[in-house]
Chains A and B, each alone.
Chain A
Amino acid sequence: GQNIDQPTEMTATEGAIVQINCTYQTSGFNGLFWYQQHAGEAPTFLSYNVLDGLEEKGRFSSFLSRSKGYSYLLLKELQMKDSASYLCAVRAMDSNYQLIWGAGTKLIIKP
């Protein structure tokens, strides 16, 4: 069956770097998305990976290893506004190519 795992909560310090991991089990992998969601708001798109490797976009980078069923989101130079939940979502053949979502990782940034 399909399964996506992320840590429930992480804490980091302003200005530091944090890595949020996501592991998945699917059949017929077809892409992995990271979204940011502030409390009470809708998810906003951050990154997309379909091939192995690192995708860099400003302070945010996302990595994928399809053989390991593993991705991470790397946030650099953390700012207080980065306090949010970070959702990992996978598109795969065994879900009819619909996104299957993790429960999200709540990131708390401390001064």
Chain B
Amino acid sequence: DTGVSQDPRHKITKRGQNVTFRCDPISEHNRLYWYRQTLGQGPEFLTYFQNEAQLEKSRLLSDRFSAERPKGSFSTLEIQRTEQGDSAMYLCASSLELSGDTDTQYFGPGTRLTVL
């Protein structure tokens, strides 16, 4: 069990460019979550998948954000036409959802995005 991994760990881009982040969850986990976190705040929910199905997306999430989990394993988060306000840490978490279980989320190391 290698834990949740994310790539890249850091990304610097210019305003208006597109960026894509990858998350590899813990192998047997069926749920995958994307969060955004800024300094001094808790994680903000963006979206989550159960297997390959995207079950929920935050109402606060701009149409510039899209996520996929094509085969129910790794996931990608794309941000189009980046803005300076998109600068944040993007966290991925995974969990194993079983009936009656706690559904504890385990986080990856995050991708820190800086938009210039």
Contacts and interface: CB of A to CB of B under 8 A. Distances in A.
Given A33-B104, A45-B105, A98 B56 contact: yes
Contact of B102 (A41, A50, A98): A50
A89 B105 CA distance: 11
Interface residues of B, number: 18
B56 A43 contact: no
**Interface of chain A, main secondary structure:** strand
Most-contacted residue by chain B among A31, A42, A50 (CB, 10 A): A42
Interface string A22-43: 0000000001010000000111
Contacts, number: 43
Contacts of B44: 101
Contacts of B45: 98-100
A44 B110 CA distance: 12
